[in-house]
Amino acid sequence: MKVKNIFERFAYKSTDTDDERFSKNLIIIISVSCCFFGLIWGGLYYLFLGYGLTMFLPWLFVLFIGVTIPVAHFKRNHFILVNAQLTGITWISALVQWSLGSINDSGFVVLWSFLGPIGALLFTNKKQAVFWMIQFLFIVVLTVLVQPKLSNDSSHVTDVFRDTFYVMNICTTSLIVFGTSLYFVRDILRKKNMNFLLLKSTEAKNRELVDSIKYAQRIQNAIMPTEKQLNELIPNGFVFYQPKDIVAGDFYWLNQKDNSTYIAACDCTGHGVPGALVSVVCNTALNRSIKEFKLNTPGEILDKTRELVLTEFEKSEDEVSDGMDIALIKINGNHLSFSGANNPLWIVRNNNQILEDIKGCKQSIGLTNNPTPFITHEVDLNSGDCVYVFTDGYSDQFGGPKGKKFKTKAFKNLLQSIHYLPSKEQKVIIESTIKQWKGKLEQVDDICIIGLKINEPVNIPN
């Protein structure tokens, strides 16, 4: 087995993160390297100084770390080795220094103690690093001012010894610091490269996803009336449609049959892609109700639409509770028929500016407890009256000076204040009002508003 593989198996746990594996690899490499230098230093001390405390201390360090490595490995806790390494390198180096006496006689061996706070900075935290730095400074101050002397080994010190160990101590500790830094830099560059590749991959996937959603937008737009069809079917009306995302759960639906025009503002469960998928099912059900099943009354159309939607969702093995809220009107001349699922019809009369609020049934197009047939309301209209059907996205939008909802009351007041204007001008005001209200806040839901003026306005308020 290669040495690299042995190091990589040190204190290995299957739950290790990349950072934990890096830390374990680094501490075992540093510890083994320090043990190697400890053996050399002990041998050289024996050659220069003979048998004594100074020779014994580096080998004591090797023994101490050598015993700790298997303990840390089998306990799968590399911090046992970290603490042993910090203690050994800091204090055994200090004992070697004090065994020889002055810094000059030792060849600046106390420099090895500085690896303690550096190691603490690498493997522990700032608080621990400060703690070990204080110990190192204490050792340096004590060495310079007191010059403890634990043995007479300094009597054998020669100029050759001093010069040799000055070079060895400075160069070796510098190499360890440099090697550790290089190891860290290499890991940082590796992570940076991995992050760059991951970012590129994510960007590519995001582009593919956005392209797919934009294509879905084209499909969703294809099932809704075009601008030309809107102008033909409701020349005195407008549609303000503002999805929250690229695709939407809200959609507008128009159809014409037997001199009657059918108009609906629809709000499917959710928004974005999930809402758009539900909208396709509901749009298809509406079309089938009129074209395939030849239904004419809004209430009957919604009953059949609910039946068709539930039939589609029942094909799933999981229970699908998604559905649609809708306000559906049928206009033939100046007569209007309305049926709604949770959503209302608003009419602003031209002669008195009173807003009539006709509620829809309290049930949705979809899975409902105790479903009942949808009620059709019949209403006669006059010239200049304005009819509005919509979803809840406009009144639910947060904004304003206090970041609150626009609310239904403010929406009613807005429509009452602009109903006398041509429909296209109404749309401009509705759009600018919600834009100003929203400000820099995020749009919370899809918005769909359909307004229709019966003929042209005849009474303009003062």
Residue 262 in domain = yes
Same-domain status, 19 and 160: yes
Q: What is the pLDDT of residues 228-282, one digit of tens each?
A: 888 888 889 999 999 998 888 899 999 999 889 999 999 998 667 777 888 888 9
Same-domain status, 166 and 239: no
| Residue 56 clears pLDDT 90, i.e. is over it | yes
Range of the domain at 277: 225-453
Q: What gap in Å lies between CA 219 and CA 390, rounded to an integer?
A: 22
Q: What is the pLDDT of residues 415-460, one digit of tens each?
A: 999 999 999 999 999 999 999 999 999 999 999 999 999 874 333 3
Residue 208 in domain = no
Same-domain status, 185 and 236: no
Q: Structure pTM?
A: 0.61
Q: What is the pLDDT of residues 12-21, one digit of tens each?
A: 888 888 888 8
Residue 162 in domain = yes
Same-domain status, 359 and 323: yes
Q: Is 147 left (phi over 0), alpha (psi -120 to 50) or beta?
A: left
Same-domain status, 236 and 121: no
- The predicted pLDDT at position 457 comes to 38
Same-domain status, 116 and 239: no
Cβ(102)–Cβ(153) under 8 Å? no
Packing angle, helices 53-74 and 78-87, rounded to 10? 170
Distance of CA 89 to the CA centre of its chain: 44
Q: Specify the number of domains making up the chain.
A: 2
Same-domain status, 41 and 140: yes
Query: What is the mean pLDDT of the segment spanning 29-47?
Result: 91
Q: What is the pLDDT of residues 99-139, one digit of tens each?
A: 998 888 888 888 999 999 988 988 888 899 999 999 999 99
Q: What is the pLDDT of residues 151-182, one digit of tens each?
A: 988 888 888 998 888 999 899 888 888 887 77
- The predicted pLDDT at position 47 comes to 92
Q: For residue 407, report the phi and psi dihedrals to the nearest 5 degrees.
A: 75, 155
The terminus-to-terminus CA distance of the chain in angstroms comes to: 95
Same-domain status, 157 and 260: no
DSSP 176-227: HHHHHHHHHHHHHHHHHHHHHHHHHHHHHHHHHHHHHHHHHHHHHHHHSPPH
Q: What is the CATH number of the domain that holds 412?
A: 3.60.40.10
- The predicted pLDDT at position 187 comes to 67
Residue 305 in domain = yes
pLDDT category at 461 given cuts 50, 70, 90 is very low
Same-domain status, 182 and 289: no
Distance of CA 97 to the CA centre of its chain: 54
Residue 206 in domain = no
Looking at 179, 198, 217, the residue that finishes a domain is: 198
Of 20, 40, 22, residue with least CA distance to 30: 22
For residue 41, list its beta bridge partners. Answer: none
Q: What gap in Å lies between CA 444 and CA 431, rounded to an integer?
A: 15
Same-domain status, 235 and 111: no
Same-domain status, 166 and 56: yes
Residue 31 in domain = yes
Residue 307 in domain = yes
Same-domain status, 115 and 178: yes
Residue 209 in domain = no
Q: What is the pLDDT of residues 365-389, one digit of tens each?
A: 988 888 999 999 999 999 999 999 9
